[in-house]
Amino acid sequence: MNHPDHTIKSRVAAISVVASTGMAVAKFVVGIAIGSLALISEALHSSVDVVATVITWMVVRVSDRPADKEHHYGHGKLESVSALGVIALLYVLAGGILVESWSRLREGAPPPTISAIPFIVLLIDIAVNFWRARALHRAAHDTKSQALAADALHFASDVLGSIAVIIGLALSGLGYAWGDAAAAIGVAVTIALLGLRMARSTVETLVDRAPEGVSEKATAAISAVPGVIDVERLRVRMVGATHFIDAIVQVPRTFPIDRVEEIKRKAQDAVTRALGDADLTFTAVPVARDNESVRERIMVIARNAGVAVHHVTVHDLSGRLTVSIDLEVDGDMALNEAHDIAHELERNIRDEFGEDVEVDTHIEPLEPELPLGADAAPDRVETIKTALSRFAADGAIHDIHSVRVRNTDAGEIVNFHCRAAPSMSVIRVHENVDEIERALRRAFPTVKRVISHAEPPDAQ
């Protein structure tokens, strides 16, 4: 399936080939017939346009191909190279016209034969070229094609060149013999000036000059993505119609990998909306935020060390920081190995907070990721539920429900829901539920773990 831009560029380029050929032949024949150097020069200019348009038509068929093993940024730079080649042809033509014009002025060549025919041909040529220049310029703007932009420039120069030829022929008809040669010089100068303008734009693309305003737009788009702290560095290059953007972006170091990936995706969407066709390379640099808590900093240290921790408690005792951590390791690991892991973790924490920090690490076996288990018999579930309701009686916790009991190799695991007053603090709820859980484990030694879920009376 063809890309829409490719179809547009190919169609416009093909139409330009037919139009350029027809007008070049008409101007050349009339120019020879009346002996007008200016008209012949304009015909040669149009002939170069035919060559340029054929090159453009061939190039756009290749430049829209996707990236491959040899061309990691695609084939868009072929348009810039072809534009330079066409500009070189124009300068060769302009030089030849200047030499011939100077020769005729110096030798006093006879003026051309004036009639209505060359004026009619030139007016038709102006109308056709004006229409083609507008169509090509619009297509070049929509598809960001430098090859089409160069072609549009050629036809714009044809319009100016044709006006110069009309003026020269008019001067010759009024008896100024030098009018035709002067008009030819005007055509050459027009070609050179317009070619210079296009050459500047093309060379800037080839040397990877950042397009005007694109860096600012891309930076603003990425900075607006939630989670981005700052854009540390951003580089932009154009290849064909695509903006290739390399960005180094600061993100919070406390964010998990999946959150960072989400930021990358949103950043790509943001620059695409801002610039159109964009390819973003996003390098995330984790940095510490000013508002990081001590607990968050400890979790980052543990994650960087590749260890599992939970139940991190932090206290400030008269200006002295104390930290307690539950460290999970493989249950079959030897104690000396587990102690080395704990010691390394404690050392990393002291490196972060200072040598006077007090760190205590509780080592416990890591829970298996997928422990084997089965639902307990209904009568066992009812026995556990009755016990839970009895332990909760006359307390702040009530309505024990959704009780589930599972048998595992390590013992029974009990899950249950309960209700408490909606205005009760979390601390009080936790204390009351903990008391029920401890009573259940004392009554049933086979219960290894109790997981409760407290909710207000109106919760579903």
Axis crossing angle, helix 37-63 with helix 179-206, rounded to the nearest 10: 20
Instruction: Identify the segments of the chain with pLDDT beneath 70.
Output: 1-16, 49, 52-53, 55-80, 108-111, 140, 143-151, 153-157, 204-208, 210, 240, 368-371, 459-460
Rounded CA-CA distance 434/73 in Å is: 61
**Domain-embedded: residue 341:** yes
Q: Are both 343 and 405 inside the same structural domain?
A: no
Q: Structurally, how many domains does the chain consist of?
A: 4
**Domain-embedded: residue 460:** no
Sequence-separated (6 or more) residues with CB below 8 Å from residue 189: 94
Can you give the pTM of this predicted structure? 0.51
Q: How far apart are the first and last CA of the chain?
A: 52
DSSP secondary structure letter of residue 291: T
CB 190 within 8 A of CB 161: yes
Domain harbouring 168, CATH code = 1.20.1510.10
- In the block, tokens 């066709």 appear at 277
How many Cβ atoms sit within 10 Å of the Cβ of residue 109?
17
- The 10s digit of each residue's pLDDT in 59-87 is 666 655 666 666 655 556 666 677 777 77
C-alpha distances in Å from residue 361, one per residue of 120, 258, 309, 310, 341: 96, 29, 9, 11, 10
- The 10s digit of each residue's pLDDT in 292-301 is 788 888 888 8
Provide the β-strand partners of residue 327.
309, 363
% helix, strand, coil for the chain, step of 5: 60, 20, 20
Rounded CA-CA distance 2/74 in Å is: 16
Rounded CA-CA distance 279/247 in Å is: 11
Domain with 303, as residue range(s), is 294-365
**Domain-embedded: residue 335:** yes
Q: What is the pLDDT of residue 4?
A: 53
Q: Are both 322 and 237 inside the same structural domain?
A: no
CB 416 within 8 A of CB 385: yes
Q: What is the pLDDT of residue 1?
A: 42
**39 burial type by CB count under 10 A (0-12 exposed, 13-18 middle, 19+ buried):** buried
Q: Are both 62 and 155 inside the same structural domain?
A: yes
Q: In what side-by-side order are the strands of the sheet with 308-317? A: 308-317, 320-329, 358-365
Q: What is the pLDDT of residue 91?
A: 81
- In the block, tokens 């547009």 appear at 8
